[in-house]
Amino acid sequence: MNNLALTEYVDLINDYERKKDIRRLLIAFVILNLIYLFGPFIFKFFHSSMTKRVLYAIYIILMGGVTYHFCKTTKTVKHKVKQGWLWILTVFFYLFWLVMPILSELSNKIATFKFSFDKTSAIWLTAISAGVIEEFLFRGLLFNICLEYFAKSKYKFIWTTIITSILFSLMHLVNAIHQSMISTIGQILFAFGYGMLFSYGRLITNGISIGVFLHIWQDASPQIITNNLGNTNIRLIFPLALTEMAFSLLCVYFYNKKYNQQFGNTEYDTKSTEFDVNTQE
């Protein structure tokens, strides 16, 4: 537990301080989520497209900055985990998660610049908004909240990855307001799979920069400024999400195991010490 980057900002051993900080951060997370989901509706009252773009850019910077403030840090550990043979999975992970998506979508991203300035700027600002704010909210703030809560657990990284991915995917339920439920379900499944991948990305890179970039890259398409953001092809999405989930969970499990082997688990070490003392008495 002492190797968690959060130990530089909060006393994770002190349960009272830890729970107090968790409550404070949860309140901030809920409020910031509500602002993110419903705040952009304000821009509809501005008629000038240029004014909208400028204000939206300021909104992204402010939301990202405030969320980062509550995150304290986007690092997961102070000293990186030595992965050993886990590098084999990591290399495969990078090829599957980083290289292939970038290359396969390159022509589509270039095509977004063939639209009018208004449409192109709308696409990329919306994608940047989702990539920056959602990553800071879920792989930043919520990820840290879960790490604080499970700080003494032997499976802290596994629980944190699962919970943040579930909540990240369920956040997309709000899109059912303007699209069909089947399309929303497809989006939720897709988001859950990517949430697992992004969470593992934070662990192996010890940050969220790559996650932010890939999130923006994934979202930058003409579809993002339409009323249908989901996918109705559940037969395609479900096995894809299941594969991403299984692969990510396997990687996180081995990362978690390596972490415990190299840095131990303070809770169990403490209990063991207390037991030995009581036995001697």
- pLDDT digit string, tens, across residues 185-196: 999 998 999 999
Structure confidence by residue, pLDDT tens digits, 215-262: 999 888 887 877 777 778 888 888 888 888 898 999 999 999 999 999
For tokens 């398409």, name the residue: 221
State the pLDDT at residue 132. 97
**Structure confidence at residue 1 as a pLDDT band (50, 70, 90):** low
d(CA 146, CA 12): 12
State the pLDDT at residue 208. 95
d(CA 233, CA 218): 18
Contact 93, 204 (CB under 8 A): yes
Contact 84, 204 (CB under 8 A): no
State the pLDDT at residue 9. 94
Structure confidence by residue, pLDDT tens digits, 53-112: 999 999 999 999 999 999 999 999 999 898 888 788 778 777 776 777 778 888 888 888
List the domain boundaries for the chain. 5-280
At 147, which amino acid appears?
Answer: L
* Structure-block tokens of residue 214: 């890939």
**Structure confidence at residue 145 as a pLDDT band (50, 70, 90):** very high
Average pLDDT, the chain: 87
d(CA 3, CA 158): 17
Contact 47, 36 (CB under 8 A): no
Cβ atoms within 10 Å, residue 2: 11
Contact 253, 158 (CB under 8 A): yes
Res. 184: pLDDT tops 50: yes
Question: Under DSSP, is residue 229 helix (H, G, I), strand (E, B) or coil?
Answer: coil
For tokens 């949860």, name the residue: 26
Cβ atoms within 10 Å, residue 32: 19
